[in-house]
Every structure is written in C-alpha cells, then in structure tokens.
Structure 1
Amino acid sequence: MTDDEPSTAALVRAVAAELGLQPEDTRSHTGDFAGGQIRFAGQAAEREPSDYLLRWTPGQGWELAAEAGESVLRIVAGLPGTQPPEAVADFVLTSLSERGERPVRRSDEDVPEPAQRPW
C-alpha cells in the first residue's frame, strides 16, 4: 500500500467499516504526517463511554489510544505494520474486550467539525 491519500483513506475507512463505524468517524492525512485515525467510544454496560482514537502511521502501524483527560491520550495497545482491515478490527475488539468495552460511535460525531482539527 502506498502513502497517497486514496490508499490511506481507503484503509482507514475499511477498518472503520469492520468495526461497525462510519466513514465520517475517520480522518486521513498526507504530507509531513501521512496516516489516518478513527475516533470512537468504548461502551461498557455500567460506565459512561470512554473516548478512543485508533491511529495508523505508515511504517509504524496501529496504536489504540484512550483519552486520559483533556487533550491527553494514553496508548493502550499497539499493532505493528500494515495489517488487513479484518486483523486491525480483531486487534481493536480484543483490546476493548479486555477492558470490558465494545466500540460505538461517539455521541458528538454528528456535530459539524471545525475547518481544521489538530492531530
């Protein structure tokens, strides 16, 4: 897979689809930082949803990060390299299952985003 925009965007959207999320939950970027991300929440029956970010960086792989406070992310799991979307989804589902959660869309995803968003 190359690092061009269509390939990065397609990979990230395919992983989101495997997780039952929407294309609107994804972002991709080229240039100095080529990669992509998927924002979602982890739902557990007895707790408020946790916010997660799944990031992909070419040459490095996937990182699952949990929001640990305002503008702070804590890496909770990693998957090296470029993997098929099904393998990435299994990685995320297993990681969330170990935390007693399952992926769901964030409740704020239908709110329009600002024109530029910091990574």
Structure 2
Amino acid sequence: MEHPEPDTRTLERGLGEYVRAVAAAVGVPAESTTVEISDTATAYLGLPRRWLDRPDHDVMLVWSERRGWSLAVETDPADDPVVIARHADDLVPSPSAVAQFVADAVAGHHPGQDSPGPATAATRTSLAEKLRPYLHDPR
C-alpha cells in the first residue's frame, strides 16, 4: 500500500519540532532557528560562536533533506557558506548526535568533512516518518 505524500504543513511542523529539539541539545534558543519547506526542506541554526580561521564570520548549523546536517561559516550574502564538517551518517540523527557532531567539529575534529552527506535522499514520505516522533500529536 502506497502512502500519500505528507502535506507541507505537517512536514514543516515535524521538521520545526525536530530542529527545536536539536537547538535545545546544541544550546541555541529556538529564536535562532528557521525552517523552510519549498522545493527542498531546509533548516538553519545560528550558533553563538566564531570560527578561528574566520573570526569575523558567524558559525551556523544547516540541514537539508538532500544532505543532512552541515556545520558552516557564514560568508558574504552573495557567497556560499564555507562548510567545515558534515554529519554523514543519517539524514535525521538524534539531537544528541547532532550536538556531539558540533562539539567534535568545534574541537577540531571534522567528521565527514569530505563526505557529500547521507548516501540516499529521503522521499518526503520517509522524511515525514523520521520526523513523526518529534510531533506532539503524531497523527
């Protein structure tokens, strides 16, 4: 039996709750996060730190449904961020795993830096299933 694609609102709610859980685990207030569902689902967490190699630029944690989590340094608005590390193991790792990934990268360990991200892209249905545990009303 094929499941219908989840509606954008449900997917955005699930991703929003997941990102809030990640933010809490990383120690970032929910106000420092954004979630967007368009042709690609994405999330952003502004981290309250600078990178030693680029002390004038903020560090951010970004997520996309195609690549999973990446730690990056913000650059000029016209330029792409500089990726420091990628969490390559899972598209929706536990919030504690994301927090450990950030701590390791900040400590100078760059896990998955050269990795393109998770090996398989999730369908919106499978992504919604992975995010379901973060919904307060999982219906």
TM (normalized to structure 2)? 0.60
Structure number with higher helix proportion: 2
Among candidates 9, 29, 32, match of residue 25 of structure 1: 32
Count of matched residue positions in the alignment of Structure 1 and Structure 2: 96
Consecutive unaligned residues of structure 1, counting only runs of 5 or more, are: 100-119
- Shift of residue 59 of structure 1? 4.0
Aligned to 1:91: 101
- Shift of residue 41 of structure 1? 2.9
- Shift of residue 49 of structure 1? 6.8
Deviations 1:58-106 (A, max 9, x none): 2421111112x4223100000122200000010011101218xxxxxxx
Instruction: Tell me the percent identity.
Output: 29
Deviations 1:37-62 (A, max 9, x none): 10123258xx9574112111124211
Q: Report runs of 4+ in structure 1 exceeding 6 Å deviation.
A: none
Q: Distance in 2 between matches of 1:50 and 1:13?
A: 23
Q: Distance in 2 between matches of 1:58 and 1:5?
A: 12
Structure number with higher strand proportion: 1
- Shift of residue 35 of structure 1? 1.8
Larger Rg: 2
Q: Distance in 1 between matches of 2:58 and 2:49?
A: 6
Q: Please tell me the residue identity of whatever aligns with 1:94.
A: D
Given that 1:41 and 1:50 are in contact with CA atoms closer than 8 Å, whether structure 2 keeps it comes out as no
Corresponding position: 1:63 with 2:70: yes
Distance 1:92 1:49, change over 3 A: farther
- Report the secondary structure of 1:40's partner residue: strand
- Report the secondary structure of 2:87's partner residue: strand
Q: Distance in 1 between matches of 2:61 and 2:76?
A: 17
Q: Distance in 1 between matches of 2:56 and 2:48?
A: 6
- Report the secondary structure of 1:98's partner residue: coil
- Report the secondary structure of 2:40's partner residue: coil
RMSD of aligned alpha carbons: 2.5
Q: Please tell me the residue identity of whatever aligns with 1:90.
A: Q
TM (normalized to structure 1)? 0.69
